[in-house]
Amino acid sequence: MARETLNILIGGEAGQGLVTVGELLARCLVRSGRHLQVTQGYMSRIRGGHNTFVLRTSVHEVPAPAEGFDLVVALDPATARIHEPELKPEGLIVVDEAWGLTGGNLWAVPYKTLASGRYMNTASLGVIGALIGLGTPVLLAALEKAFGKKHPDQAAENANTLEKAYAWTRENRSDGFHLAPAQPGPTRLILNGNDAISLGAMAAGVRFCAFYPMTPATTIALNLADRAAKLGLVVEQAEDEIAAVNMAVGAAYTGLPSLVSTSGGGFALMVEGISLAAMLETPLVAAVIQRPGPATGLPTRTAQADLEYVLFSGHGEFPRAIFAPGTIDQCFHRTVQAFHLAEDSQGPVFILSDQFLSDSLRDTAPFDLASVTAVNPADRHRAALEAMGSADPSAPYQRYALTPSGISPRLLPGLSEHLVVSDSDEHTEDGHLTEDLDVARKMVEKRLKKADLIRSRIVPPDFWGDDPADLLLVGWGSTLGAMIEAGQSLRDRGRRVGVLHFSQVWPLAPEQFLVRLESAGRVVAVEGNATGQLANLIRRETGFRIDAVVLRYDGLPLTPEFILRGLEE
């Protein structure tokens, strides 16, 4: 019987190429009409150790990673040993005959006879493809797309190896793991959270990105660097995170939509710059991709433990917004929103993601680029200039004019006769430093007033499931899918379950969700941290005390199974 869903783990040492095999397989699955969600687990090293690339694939949508594997493809003997306990009863571990391993669930492949050295991974792909019933055309096409241009000399051998491994597998094991047939629908994208954030930034008109490498945030900057020349943007690797954020504020002051990307420890060094952006009222988007702390912690694992840290980062008081996407689509769209909100509120806006989502390749419908408007500070500059009409250019331009909304018309330096003065000290309306305490008070109020705009645009939390619910799961960011799947499985058992997911975690608008909390039988927060940060924030904002928490803080993503176990406790 064909399988609707398969959970496939590819495991091996860093450097063995398991990501290459995994990505090829991912592409084949999506091309052949299946849905997909990838979970990557890797160590903070370049060679050796034990890494995993898990593909959960289905003819239906795949909301979350899951426990228990149907197939374990071991690129090294350790993988077989480590993941044997996680194998489903009917599962299979594909190993290399050469290792001489034996056991009930092991299936040995004579790789040596199928491929030579550098083509081993191609053989693996052939084996897996055949096992799960993908056709050779889709496999070959994927190989060609990946290596055709880069290594044309290896094309023939690659194809040969693939076909050989494929054929061998079909002959020796044709049963058990075939995926149910699917019709390839309209084109789907395959991309991970960081890809989608990068694409969102590009669509939103990002023109400047400064960064200092830090896992799991680096790939955002690398994505942009890769397209910098053709799309017309500047990506600068800074000497440290302090330089990165100050460069970005400098570029933003001058008129470029700007982005910084980092993780917890690097963000620490940006905290002063965040406060600077707030004081200068400069738009700035900061993507903070979480990993477990404190300090260096687990640099390649996932966590949701920096919500409060980001929310209260920066000395002094100023408004901000924090988006916490839970899907690839949200990664894209929240990023676009972040750029607009930063521009409109003239201040810092955050995208808070995590390693799991950042590395999780998924299939998604192409983004409707035509519907996205890019921010363009120069347009606003022109509009503001026009509004000023024949204002005397020798009268100092009031960059920080006190307005009812708290938002002042923003000109850009060098683009008109008006001089743009910005100062990190408290300042008068014209931007010059002041120690007039009455002005200081008004400026504090002006900056905080901008919260109104931010509040008027809050993305409400998404609700899924039964309303009212006996059990309401509440979460944010990357846990969305796991909550929904856990919820569904309880609903299948007859319970009334709802899921409330925040893809914007600050500010909170109680009127958007409080009644759901109050009307639910039992409310449980599901978070990737050890203290229940969203739960605490909800209490701070509404007084509502969430009944219980399911928390994960071992560096792994929440799974439906983990949530269900947690609910039973």
Partner 1 sequence: MVDIKEYGQFETAWCPGCGNHQIIQAVKRALAEEGLRPRQVLMVSGIGQAAKSPHYLRANVFNGLHGRALPAATGARLANPGLKVLIESGDGCSYGEGGNHFLAGIRRNIDVTYIVHDNQIYGLTKGQASPTTEFGFVTKAQPQGVFNTPFNPVAAAVGLRCGFVARGFSGDVDHLAGLIRAGMAHRGFALIDVLQPCVSFNKVNTFAWYKKRVQPLGPEYDPADWAVALQTAHEWGDRIPLGVIYRDETRVPLEDRIPALASGSLIGRPVNQTVLAEIMREYE
Ligand X SMILES: Cc1ncc(C[n+]2csc(CCOP(=O)(O)OP(=O)(O)O)c2C)c(N)n1
Residues in contact with ligand SF4 by the rule CB under 6 A: 46-47
Q: Which amino acid, one-letter code, is at 431?
A: G
Sheet holding 504-506, edge to edge: 234-237, 208-211, 258-262, 284-290, 348-354, 321-323, 504-506
- Nearer residue to ligand X within complex by CB, 7 or 261: 261
Under the binding rule (CB under 8 A), the answer on residue 415 touching partner 1 is yes
CB count within 10 Å of CB 522 equals: 13
User: Is the bond preceding residue 65 a cis peptide, omega within 30 degrees?
Assistant: no
Q: How far is the C-alpha of 476 from the C-alpha of 307, rounded, in Å?
A: 10
Nearest to 114 by CA among 171, 153, 72, 71: 171
DSSP code for 180 = P
- Nearer residue to partner 1 within complex by CB, 252 or 453: 252
Under the binding rule (CB under 6 A), the answer on residue 212 touching ligand X is yes
- Nearer residue to ligand SF4 within complex by CB, 47 or 230: 47
Contact letters for partner 1, residues 284-313 (x by CB under 8 A): -----------xx--x--------------
Under the binding rule (CB under 8 A), the answer on residue 293 touching a copy of itself is yes
Under the binding rule (CB under 8 A), the answer on residue 56 touching partner 1 is no
Sheet holding 87-96, edge to edge: 106-109, 87-96, 69-74, 5-14, 48-58, 35-41, 362-364, 189-191
Q: Which span sits near ligand X by CB under 6 A: 29-37, 209-217, 447-455, 534-542? A: 209-217
Under the binding rule (CB under 8 A), the answer on residue 226 touching partner 1 is yes
Of positions 113, 174, 296, 373, contacts ligand X by CB under 6 A? 296
Q: Structure tokens of 473?
A: 């799961």
The residue number whose beta carbon is nearest to ligand SF4 equals 46
502, β-bridge pairs: 476
Under the binding rule (CB under 8 A), the answer on residue 514 touching a copy of itself is no
CB 16 within 8 A of CB 41: no
CB of 46 to ligand SF4, least distance (A): 4
- Nearer residue to ligand SF4 within complex by CB, 49 or 250: 49
- Nearer residue to partner 1 within complex by CB, 43 or 388: 43
Of positions 22, 41, 63, 255, contacts partner 1 by CB under 8 A? 255
Q: Which residues of 335-374 are buried (b: 16+ CB within 10 A; e: fewer)?
A: bbbbbbbbbbbbbbbbbbbbbbbbbbbbbbeebeeeebee
| Residue 532 binding partner per list ligand SF4, a copy of itself, ligand X, none, with a CB distance cut-off of 5 to 8 Å that depends on partner kind | none
**DSSP letter string over 221-241?**
HHHHHHHHHHHT-EEEE-SSH
Torsion of CA 418, 424, 426, 431, to 10 degrees: 0
- Nearer residue to ligand X within complex by CB, 154 or 237: 237
Which helix (H) or strand (E) is 364 found in, with range?
strand 362-364
Under the binding rule (CB under 8 A), the answer on residue 419 touching partner 1 is yes
Under the binding rule (CB under 6 A), the answer on residue 265 touching ligand X is yes
- Nearer residue to a copy of itself within complex by CB, 373 or 424: 424
Of positions 181, 424, 470, 511, contacts a copy of itself by CB under 8 A? 424
CB of 239 to a copy of itself, least distance (A): 13
Q: How far is the C-alpha of 218 from the C-alpha of 291, rounded, in Å?
A: 13
Give the footprint of a copy of itself on this chain (CB under 8 A). Answer: 43-44, 49, 242, 263-265, 267-269, 271-272, 275-276, 278-280, 292-301, 303, 305-306, 308-309, 311-318, 423-426, 435, 437-438, 440-441, 444-445, 447-448, 529-531, 536-537, 539-540, 543-545, 553-556
